[in-house]
Structure 1
């Protein structure tokens, strides 16, 4: 079974499985297709994280495929260039893409089919074109001004100055040529030679500090890392470690897992209020501590310590919202404030949880035109505040939002899952997990269920449509500032492995254009 955010990607994954590929092969092929047909969300100019559970091993393999800042990227250099804040469309927000390094590294270590074969469906979609789907068209329309701000992007990604309409066949011959080069020569073709030179020239023409040597180092950017986990409801939930924000999924589960399940159900005020309050505390910790652990200390053990999470739980009251929060990492006031996800399970039980992203819609909006590569803006996750753990620095990875998830029980994978949506992802994952495993909704219902999100930094609680008016009113009375939003929070996919009955149960979020299919 495969579940992705576009039907063509789901079908691609199934075709790979039919040809003898495993779950990881299928995931890479699907991600490559998504990098073509869902260009606002993902691309080869972005990053990748993956959790892979090989059947019969009891282990979860994690890879960090996030890229690094250029070697010349220092706060001093940026200030000397007149940069006093990071802008999401600036070349200074572009980190070296890590996705292609991750695809090749995963394929070499755990794949069965050659990478070049896996890229053929994406090449066809790029060269022959693919119709624009409904959610893609909506996102494209909203990002049109960003694309107009870059001459190459405006030429190649707008039609008569406007975002393409639903059904427009979008062709990307330059991207197809680049994918062909990667298929023939591997990741080296992307990180060295004319493709890398095109990306560097594009960025430097806009004032970027990137060099071809930075891209050369990007060839080895992806690395296997030790996943982190938490015990929850008789299972283990796995995440990639920092610089990704999976740490905060574990914090949220640890806090909320100590409450009794609200009898009023998943759409109750009690459930939402507790989740909002827990998220406010956890995102406070994220903004203070999440960074690249190769350059700064990220206190994962302290932030996931059951005693610390119990103290945070003790701050949450059912009768009112917290007016203020303790300092990050503390529980005592007195001491001191866009992406694609997919999953695949093959016939042997190998399970893959895979996420690939440009970050915000169309990333930086900067297109390397000759190679057809839209460049991510992951560097927008850095800060210029010197002394902050997440301050930009040479060869440093930024705080990252994309997080694949994996649920294990008794040494076996029971669910690869993920929820897209930038900063929303820890909130989205924990809402989904509780919907299914705590409140008993089936996989599809758990994804469909209305969502809300307390915007980091003290913003209003953003509510999707579908939450009962009585609940909205009571949340407001508890002290939450609430705001209805038109655009839905993220999207998600999941596959439940029901070993007792010998079934796979898949779900795909209606907030996206995708589907779950199996055979």
Structure 2
């Protein structure tokens, strides 16, 4: 079996994983100063917003799963903004737009990430938020060598993004895309981080930063206003959870896509008589479960008061016929981090601007890159995810937290838009069903069902396709075809970027595949 490599660290006191070495180092430094795991996660989250702007920024969203070891209680944080108050279907139809644009000012919803920081800081942190933002502020001020993935994506998207207000000044300041190793300074962003350090989330959602964000968007023809920003609040929820293969798996409730992961796992668990280590039989059943879960989510789960009840009904109401049917037929940019300590305190965060570089719009004075999450809405008024003012769109972001009879087991996630639940399912199945080492599980070659829930993907797709990384058994490809999927063979291992921390025997571990620039650390 070939796939990607894995980065691994182990220790006895704590473990951390993130999307870049600087963020992991910031987390470990906080823990060494006797901060808690939630402090460490906030420091790492902020550094990622500086170091990986193609994946996440202050203008993005954040979801978290938080576990206190003392009580064993797990809660979900949903820190996502909503559509602007002026974002009506008619507003887009009157512009002769068939769908919400993929990038640019009309693709922007209010960002929720900073509200998520505030919620985590207020409920769980032990150190002041200002102290936790210091590494990110210094990094934005002094600059850092741009990573290879950041430089490659900037070059690939330069023609599309350079006309968008603020993008070229931020990421192509010399009149060309930034190169790998070239120092990227973001002094305006450092100033915004200082505002947040001084005033908390209010320093982002009101005052000069909010005025600059709204003014930049509206000058460019977008709909976001200061009132939209002031209305943003993070939400704390009970998790959705199921029992699976000797563990309890927690995820975020709707509007998160975590329900797709749990629904697919629930269907997969009903595949009686199929050996999970038999790739040729097991993975086509999993692919059909994912495809079904995507379809059910699109049909049933928008942003309304009844979404959780419907999600719970999906998870509780699976019958044996569902699994027999699956067996018979056979067939984005984001970044994540996680931190755990020996007491079972744990947190997993996944955060994103949605597509690579989000909308591309960067605040003129604030340096804030804004998301393009509004593009996930449909302009069909009868669709469960139809665009409405102040509505929250269905979200691809989610993570997982697993517990067993001993308590905490793993917390993790993966970027990748609609790849997220598919990567998470494959990693969890390998670890829980097959007993694989987490390092082996994250490195193993993957597959991905396409399309998922993205409106543009659904509009252009005629046949459900399974994308396969190199190293998957050719016989598995034929099994996917027999299950009714078209087949697309990828030229590189590039589906998601799995990261998790957890407990193995009496040790804590951190694992990340090397499909992207992940980083691990432990002590």
TM-score by length of 1: 0.92
- 1:506 Cα offset (Å): 1.6
Cα deviation, 1:22-67, whole Å, max 9, x if unaligned, reads 1111111101001110110001100001111001212102111011
Map 1:15-414 to 2 at 5 A. 15-218=29-232, 221-260=233-272, 262-263=274-275, 265=277, 268-294=279-305, 299-308=310-319, 310-317=320-327, 320-321=330-331, 338-410=333-405, 412-414=407-409
**Which stretches in structure 2 are left out of the alignment for 5+ residues?**
1-14, 452-457
- 1:90 Cα offset (Å): 3.4
Residues 416 and 495 in structure 1, CA contact (< 8 A), matched pair in contact too: yes
Q: How many positions carry a matched residue from both structures?
A: 497
Aligned counterpart for 2:496 among listed residues 490, 496, 519: 490
Q: Secondary structure at the match of 2:409?
A: strand
Q: Distance in 2 between matches of 1:81 and 1:166?
A: 39
Residues 114 and 377 of structure 1, relative CA distance in 2, 3 Å threshold:
same
Is 1:459 equivalent to 2:471 in the alignment? no
Cα deviation, 1:464-515, whole Å, max 9, x if unaligned, reads 11213333244335543101124611102111223xx421122012111122
Is 1:5 equivalent to 2:10 in the alignment? no
Residues 147 and 157 in structure 1, CA contact (< 8 A), matched pair in contact too: no
Match of 2:475 in 1: 470
Q: Secondary structure at the match of 1:36?
A: helix
Residues 26 and 44 in structure 2, CA contact (< 8 A), matched pair in contact too: yes
Residues 340 and 502 in structure 2, CA contact (< 8 A), matched pair in contact too: no
- 1:145 Cα offset (Å): 2.8
Residues 270 and 318 in structure 1, CA contact (< 8 A), matched pair in contact too: no
Q: Which moved more, 1:19-28 or 1:402-411?
A: 402-411
Match of 1:416 in 2: 411
Residues 94 and 364 in structure 1, CA contact (< 8 A), matched pair in contact too: yes
TM-score by length of 2: 0.91
Structure 1 segments of 4+ aligned residues over 6 angstroms from their partners: 295-298
Match of 2:455 in 1: none
Map 1:477-516 to 2 at 5 A. 477-486=482-491, 488-498=494-504, 501-516=505-520
Q: Secondary structure at the match of 2:326?
A: coil
Residues 420 and 490 in structure 1, CA contact (< 8 A), matched pair in contact too: yes
Q: Distance in 1 between matches of 2:318 and 2:397?
A: 27
Q: Secondary structure at the match of 1:367?
A: coil
Q: Distance in 2 between matches of 1:474 and 1:299?
A: 32
Q: Distance in 1 between matches of 2:46 and 2:227?
A: 25
Residues 27 and 40 in structure 2, CA contact (< 8 A), matched pair in contact too: yes
- 1:164 Cα offset (Å): 2.0
Q: Which moved more, 1:180-189 or 1:133-142?
A: 133-142
Cα deviation, 1:99-152, whole Å, max 9, x if unaligned, reads 001101110111000101000000111111111222333333333233223142
Q: Distance in 1 between matches of 2:352 and 2:496?
A: 13
Q: Distance in 1 between matches of 2:473 and 2:327?
A: 22
**Which stretches in structure 1 are left out of the alignment for 5+ residues?**
322-337
- 1:376 Cα offset (Å): 0.4
Residues 275 and 282 in structure 2, CA contact (< 8 A), matched pair in contact too: no
Aligned counterpart for 1:518 among listed residues 490, 511, 522: 522
Residues 5 and 311 of structure 1, relative CA distance in 2, 3 Å threshold:
same
Aligned counterpart for 1:432 among listed residues 424, 427, 436: 427
Q: Distance in 1 between matches of 2:323 and 2:329?
A: 14
Residues 424 and 489 in structure 1, CA contact (< 8 A), matched pair in contact too: yes
Q: Which moved more, 1:33-42 or 1:148-157?
A: 148-157
Residues 381 and 349 of structure 1, relative CA distance in 2, 3 Å threshold:
same
- 1:80 Cα offset (Å): 3.2
Q: Distance in 2 between matches of 1:3 and 1:52?
A: 15
Q: Secondary structure at the match of 2:488?
A: strand
Cα deviation, 1:193-226, whole Å, max 9, x if unaligned, reads 11111111111112222221111112xx101111
Residues 290 and 298 in structure 1, CA contact (< 8 A), matched pair in contact too: no
Q: Distance in 1 between matches of 2:119 and 2:439?
A: 32
Residues 497 and 173 of structure 1, relative CA distance in 2, 3 Å threshold:
same
Cα deviation, 1:342-368, whole Å, max 9, x if unaligned, reads 100124320111111101100111111
Residues 242 and 293 in structure 1, CA contact (< 8 A), matched pair in contact too: no
Q: Distance in 1 between matches of 2:289 and 2:399?
A: 21
